[in-house]
Structure 1
Amino acid sequence: MIRFARVAKFGYVRVETTGETACGSRPFPPLSCRHCLTDVPAGAPYLIVAHRPFEALHPYAECGPLFVCADACARHPDGPDLPPILTTSPDYLLKGYSADERIVYGTDKVVAQAGIAAYAAQVLDDPRVRHIHVRSARNNCYQLRIAPD
């Protein structure tokens, strides 16, 4: 015989009392849309789609989940200003990639929110680097790409 068991109540109590999950992280919501680069409005539908932030298929071209608003949203304009999606955490993981979509070793670094633009400019000064991926420093979730202007 088998038994299907719900999630133990202590997990919910921890979130209710501390705001953190059993792993010490915050629960998923709010979710950030990778198209408008803002949080999906509370209670609004969203989609979880598979995304590969690389042009070619190769062994290093990982594919992972990406959150987007289910309803049409305006694409965040490309530009030099820090988008809202990068203001919700104290730090982010930045990794430089070459033209052949390989990590340029020595460029991956967890960077404080206030230092993202300066570190990105420094990494992009390296002629081996074509662009940078910004990821969550906690869960490695892809956020966006930084490229030279």
Structure 2
Amino acid sequence: MEIRYTAIPAERLAAMREAGEDEFGNKWQPRVAEGWEPLRCCLRKASVDEDIALICYTPWDEPSPWMEAGPVFVHHEACAGYPDTGEYPALFRHNKAILNPFDHSGARAYDHITFLGPEDDHLAALANVLSQPDVAYVHVRSGSAGCFHFLAT
């Protein structure tokens, strides 16, 4: 099974940068990275002293009763994004995670929600969830904070 891993779309981030605010009206402002922040634009950890922004983000691009929004870190200026869309992002491979699956109608597939620990095989668990006939895609989220990591299809 080939899985695609997708960071926050560059077009959405570009629109937010141009507007000077995220999609929820929070001001787009730089902050200096301490070096621990997981960046959702390129799916890597920020380097010390990089200019980043903390924004409110939802992976939904249209209204949905399933919409969840929360804080995520991104580069303040545009970056190259996540080029390895066929590779599970290394930064998130050994953390606490929630695999939050959705069916083909866009509703949450409750029977397949999966909680992972750092010791679990995240790739195998994700492949298992995505192999279910009723699962169309998965929002991979932080198991600690609940915030969005990336989309898996």
Q: What secondary structure sits across from 1:67 in the alignment?
A: strand
Which one of the candidate residues 16, 22, 39 is aligned to 2:45? 39
Q: Match of 1:145?
A: 151
Could you tell me how far apart the structure 1 residues matched to 2:95 and 2:81 are?
A: 24
- 1:90 has 2:95 as partner: yes
Matched residue SS, 2:150 = strand
Unaligned runs of 5+ in 1: 1-27
Deviations 1:95-129 (A, max 9, x none): 11112322101211212344111111111111111
Greater relative contact order (CA < 8 Å, ≥ 6 in sequence): 2
TM-score by length of structure 2 reads: 0.69
Is 1:132 aligned with 2:132?
Answer: no
Calculate the aligned-residue CA RMSD, in Å: 1.9
The residue aligned with 2:124 is 118
Using the TM superposition, give the Cα deviation of residue 42 of structure 1 relative to its aligned residue in structure 2, in angstroms. Answer: 0.9
Asked if the contact 1:85/1:143 (under 8 Å) is kept, the reply is no
Aligned length: 119
C-alpha contact 2:141 2:150 (8 A) present in aligned 1? yes
Report whether the alignment pairs 1:79 with 2:77.
no
Q: For 2:136 and 2:61, how far apart are their aligned partners in 1?
A: 13
Equivalent position of 2:61 in the other structure: 55
Deviations 1:50-80 (Å, cap 9, x if unpaired)?
Answer: 2111232022212222210113321112433
1:100 and 2:121 are equivalent in the alignment? no
Return the alpha-carbon distance in structure 1 between the equivalents of residues 62 and 99 of structure 2: 21
**Identity, % of aligned pairs?**
24
Local SS of the residue matching 1:106: helix
Q: Which amino acid aligns with 1:48?
A: L
Deviation at 1:91, TM superposition (A): 2.6
Correspondence for 2:75: 69
Q: Deviations over 1:26-62 (max 9, x none)?
A: xx85111111111111122211122111232022212
